[in-house]
Structure 1
Amino acid sequence: MDTALLIQNRVISHTGIFKNIISDRDPKFTSASWTNLHKILGTKLSFSTAYHPQTDGLAERIIQNLEDMIRRLFGYGLESKDPDGFTHNWCTLIPALELAYKTSIHASTGKTPAMLEQGWDPKLPVDTLKKDLVDIH
């Protein structure tokens, strides 16, 4: 799928139109369809400075965190069996990893990405168990 179409269908449909996008100089982000999408939407497309990857630091850090989560989950190969014997490949667990990331408090902000993006934290399955916990301290 073309990158511009993917962004339109999977990102903009959930978050709305961006004012600015800073991208590395990957050819996917310099294509005619990508440039046209920005013209149509009125977004400003900027490119990070060549040989200065710190511009992409936040995005690169998020990607590194997600890669670390995937590696920990599948340290022994591309497939894993859960305790119930079900086999999963890493792609099937991406939504769960995304939820784990979005609901983890980040040291730099003191908030979760979900709170910063949506204004609220999603209720998690573990939250339903918390009401049954007894404080022993």
Structure 2
Amino acid sequence: MWARFGLPRQIVSDNGPPFTSQEFQLFLKDNGKEHIFSAPYHPASNGAAENAVRMCKRVIKKALVQGVNIDIALNRFLLVYRNTEHCTTGVSPTKLLQGRSLRTRLDCLKPELGPRVRREQARQARAAGGSRRQFAPGDRVWYRDYRNSVVKWLKGEVHSLKRTIIF
């Protein structure tokens, strides 16, 4: 998990043997990770984990009642949960982790953006009616000076050509 998504800043765990070993503590120290312990044998002290377990149990029970495959039901739930905006952050967990939303079945209802973007770009190119302009050394031109906020356009002369400019 850490190889794919990177090292977390902070780890919360109970005082279980896998998390208290000297090797694990050295690994966390070497990677600059903070390790917070919750009270052993008192899961209620970690409310976020308890809420997550409660939601997963509810999904599993519902799948059993409806006769749906538990793995499929749990995976569908997790996809929707991870793609849903969180009330505290205002952003979905997936957006925070990956910088984008995951595609769901609902996305099939929305039209693809690619064809629309290409169509609009072609329309804009046709509407612009641009023409190729070619310059030769010695031609007088006006150029934009972005360093000067008072006088924006200045007179100039072409000294050499390196490429064709399309306006």
Identity of counterpart residues, as a percentage? 28
Amino acid aligned to 2:51: R
CA offsets 1:34-56 (integer angstroms, 9 cap, x no match): 33432443322221245875652
1:72 equivalent in structure 2: 62
RMSD: 2.9
**Large movers: runs of 4+ above 6 Å:** none
CA distance, structure 1, for counterparts of residue 33 and residue 49 of structure 2: 19
Assess, with a 3 A threshold, how the Cα gap between structure 1 residues 69 and 110 changes in structure 2: closer, same or farther: farther
CA distance, structure 2, for counterparts of residue 109 and residue 54 of structure 1: 23
Structure 1 gaps of 5+ residues are: 1-10, 82-87, 132-137
Does 1 or 2 have the higher relative contact order (CA < 8 Å, sep 6+)? Answer: 1
CA offsets 1:24-78 (integer angstroms, 9 cap, x no match): 22333223453343244332222124587565222222222222222222236xx
| 2:10–2:34 CA contact under 8 A, matched in 1 | yes
The structure with more radius of gyration: 2
Q: Which moved more, 1:29-38 or 1:46-55?
A: 46-55
2:48 partner SS: helix
TM-score using structure 1 length? 0.60
Counterparts of 1:102-121 in structure 2 under 5 Å?
Answer: 102-121=82-101
1:27 equivalent in structure 2: 17
CA distance, structure 2, for counterparts of residue 33 and residue 75 of structure 1: 44
2:7 to 14, 17, 36: 17
CA distance, structure 1, for counterparts of residue 2 and residue 33 of structure 2: 12
| 2:10–2:33 CA contact under 8 A, matched in 1 | yes
Residue 127 of structure 1 deviates from its aligned partner by 1.3
Q: How many residues align?
A: 111
**Larger helix percent:** 1
